[in-house]
Structure 1
């Protein structure tokens, strides 16, 4: 019986695809191994969005190749193959098989009978649906639910539309069928993901948009928390804000990739809204739900960012006071329009990134300190992987994998269940709590 080892790299959307790949192989009779040395096929599910992700993927591929025993085969799948295609096949002889996103559904057949042509590539058109087997790999009680693939925006720094294709939204009935199946397995928190969640349904005139779909997902039996992730600010409108803020079961959590707040930089990025409009969007959210969580993503060092523009960005970060913030230094990606424009030096971009994150660290510490003494709902995750004598989880204000964690220093809440806890201490990015009976 054939055995596979699967290494997932990159974003949550990639993880969902990896779960489907594993599910399909298991349904075909394969066995999964957590040890590479025990597998017949080593599979690396790659990200190819930015240069650091490309480097990480190549490093992992070469490491698995160097350590593999005779007879083992190596498959490279996903976005890295979709982005570089034939060039990657020529430069990576270590891979026995390379599969682009448009051919991922064929992976079991390709592994069972490897074709003479190592590269399996096609334009990305399909998206895994509720009928596709899926082996969940996330923590107790939570999962990602992918609503669409591809992107309809053309941000000048981004290569996603070239890799993943145009926006393709899943039918609402198919999404709800998967949500019901996942909930029946014990999942109580669904984290909704897409390249741009706020554009869901805009390519399907016969179906609902996200504002109409959210109440249907929240009504799935067993689902307690629905968290929308990655809402493109150029198309986030009042109707969707109201649906997120006012639908029972939908967490008032806004993950906003603003990228910048200075108008010259936003124009160079190909963004439609101005810095003032983005700040007004924040004000609208907070007016509707003052306790709403704001997670931002910012890009420093992009073409058009001089000293004045960076000062404007820093002033905006202080004004908004994000609950959580991810920031990155600009990397000129081949094939993007931004790569052809003059930009600040990588050294200056890194210096600005460190300045920005130092300011956010202080903001985060203050926001978390204000939660001490509050009682918050927490999704318990069991023993802490680094400190097995304590428990941990996430409050409703903390998204998985990106927002920090809550250490439960007193009590033993059941993993995968939502409990009430009292926040007892805070740090720069994490919390401590005691379970409330």
Structure 2
């Protein structure tokens, strides 16, 4: 592994295809025999630092259409939180079901699961039939894994019956020194970014793009008022940028003064600190409080000069969904994914049907949407929202921090990269955007 890393750091990328690939590599894994370790505990009390392990695992060989990548950096997403606390179900069930679909997929059904749905790195090996990518290419990966053996996915690959999220519903993910991906997951690494910055955007930026911009989502347009929950978080920080970039007016909902300031640094002017305002949308576990919906809606109109949101960018789920349906304007759209506070949504349907509102469900992005989202990063139109990057050895702590919302933006993980700040290939473009690239930074890269 050291020879591969040395070649990458020296810029001798043409050499990596000739260097031997190690038989084992380090990755952040779950163990199948530990899936009951949190039984009886509330979600918040389940500690990813107990379930996540940094192990040496066997290196898979790329099959037809697959690529083995040397991972320089990765990132923490909420799906790794779910995996680490075995909710809603242990991910080994996903691996088992995938493994039954083909001999090639059977390699994923293992007693350990290498997690992670983001990466930046360098192609090491290509399987049979891979075109357009070669050893030595610097890449990022989106997390959509599809088979496309049936017609359903050929207008929108997200509709493929065998659509899965790599590193969550498949094995050999990006929180590791090596990763196995399909060739159609690859995209060019933005040349002006470091490894850790380039790895930060794949999942969340693509998800936000489909949810907010794409014809498969809310189709935001100039002048739209967009309510964005968790606007300084991994997903919301990209939604805020996409709204601003498209001429819309984001109303950013956050949970602290520090997160409010992060939104203002992006250029957002309308910010609600829900903790300071004390919104409590649920009276108890079973009962929502419509008075709080109305109070929240009044606050939005106060900020916007009387406008209700044309679009509500929903991802918290259970905690906020009733309020989201209520505050959307007549004929407005609630576009939803993730449900990080709970999957069981409850809302008053009178405010939906009688006011002609729509709910749209979206999930990640197809290859074209992910490619367009990455192109915006490469063009310097959208910027990574990396707050810190930690070594692979501290990935479990980073997952814990995301689980407890102790972060803002995206938390990166240095995999093979020995330190932060490496991998920039276009310093001229970087110089034009460096302040925007660093505006979410809360900590220096950890040693």
The TM-score range, normalised by the shorter chain, is under 0.3
Q: TM-score, normalised by structure 1?
A: 0.25
Q: TM-score, normalised by structure 2?
A: 0.25
Could you say which structure has the greater relative contact order, defined with CA pairs below 8 angstroms and 6 or more residues apart? 2
